Amino acid sequence: MTQEQLQNLYTDVNELMDIFNEFSPYQESGTFVQESLKPCYEAMIDYIIPENSSSAALKDFLDKTDFWTAPASTRFHGNFKGGLALHTLMVIEQSLVFAKPVLENYFKSPEGKKYLSDSINCMTAKDIFISALCHDFCKTGFYGVEYRNVKDISGNWIKQPFYKTKSENRNLGHGNESVLMMLEIMPEMLQNRMVIEAVSRHMGFSDLSDSEKFNYSNFLQNPLVILLQLADQTAANWFNA
């Protein structure tokens, strides 16, 4: 990875962070501005994915699915309307925040020094953005709303809505399903092994079959896998998003 490629990566990361800060969708109080989410996404996509077909396909997917209204989970982080869009944006933001310190530390390692010598297969800010954006695509169309009887403050029985995973779902695994959806939207990513591994393995051990766990440590040599895992965990557990 040349110094020019590295500088371009950091420049694009800073530009994306400026876009996020401009729209300020997440407040320090822990609240978020629902109306700021979509324009923030669109501005980021327009900046980092200038190819009209890819950016248009992404925007079309976000609008045609329930991405803007779906929860991020049924019981844990983002278990509310719009939770998936907020969680995904916070994972993007956390990926950008950690990008430089994580990569600078990585490049000091023996594995990182080997990576620096490769000027062809190098990470870009676009890789970071797409990995974070697509990591939970499998959650679109995944949850339904059901109702249960609960007592209100006066002791009266009322029907309370809650999110539940749809029983008819067919899923190839949390990360792998998101990879499949990403490739359907952007087939050119089929050649980007680094991004595919990051999305596929962003859940760590918790989403792997026994055979996949056998060589799991090999994937941790990919710095984008580590970066996305870190961003996903901090967004969910530090920012409750």
Residues of the chain with pLDDT under 70: 75-78, 119, 144-148, 151-152, 159-167, 169-170, 206-213
Specify the pLDDT at position 234: 96
Q: How many residues in total does the chain contain? A: 241
Specify the pLDDT at position 76: 66
DSSP string, 104-165: HHHTTSHHHHHHHT-SSS---HHHHHHHHHHTTGGGTT-EEEEEEEEE-TTS-EEEEEEEEE
CB 194 within 8 A of CB 224: yes
Q: Which two tokens stand for residue 50?
A: 């200038």
Number of alpha helices (DSSP H) and beta strands (DSSP E) in the chain: 11, 2
Specify the pLDDT at position 29: 81
Q: Please compute, for residue 40, the number of CA atoms within 13 A of its CA located in the half-sphere on the CB side.
A: 27
Q: Which two tokens stand for residue 8?
A: 């371009």
Helix axes 83-106 and 3-23, enclosed angle (nearest 10): 150
Specify the pLDDT at position 136: 94
Specify the pLDDT at position 148: 67
Residue 192 has φ and ψ, to the nearest 5°, of -100, 85
Specify the pLDDT at position 166: 64
The continuous run of DSSP H or E covering 234 comes out as: helix 223-237
